[in-house]
Amino acid sequence: MSAEITASGSLQVDNGIFDEALSKSGLRFDWAGTKYIKNVQLIGTAEEALAIGECTTPGWSLFVNLDNTNWIGLRPGTGGTQFIELEAKGGFALFKFSDLSSWTPYAIANTAACKLAYLILNRA
C-alpha cells in the first residue's frame, strides 16, 4: 500500500486596480517511498549543501524561511544559479523536484545566517 501526499497552494495579488488569484487545494498523489528528511538547518551567507540524508532522489518538497529579516536562496548545486528566493517572515516554496534531479540542493542567506525548515520526500 502506498502512502498519500496532499499538497495545496494559493497566490493572490491586489494593487487597487486589479485583483487576481489562483489556488488549488487538496491535490493528492500516491507515494510508494519510505525515505524523507525533515530538518531545520542554519544557512549562512556562503552557499552550503542542505543535509538531505538518504533522500538522494528528492521529490515533493516544502521549504520555509524561519528568519524575520533576511531571504534565503535555493540553488541546484554548488555554484548553480539561484532559482528560488524565500522571503523573510515565513517565505516558502512547495514543489516537486524533476525526476531528472539527482543532485543535492544548496542554500544561501543574503545578509546574515537564517534558519531554513524543510521536508523532502524521496522518490519511491
Residue 9, helix vs strand vs coil = strand
Q: Tell me the percentage of the chain whose pLDDT exceeds 90.
A: 75
| Class in CATH terms, 32-122 | mainly beta
CA distance 106 to 116: 11
- The domain segmentation of the chain, as residue ranges, is 32-122
pLDDT of residue 100: 65
CB 64 within 8 A of CB 90: yes
pLDDT of residue 77: 79
Mean pLDDT estimate for the chain: 92
Alpha helices in the chain (DSSP H): none
39 CB-side CA count, 13 A = 15
- The three cell numbers of residue 12 are 493572490
Spell out, as residue ranges, where the chain has pLDDT lower than 50.
Answer: none
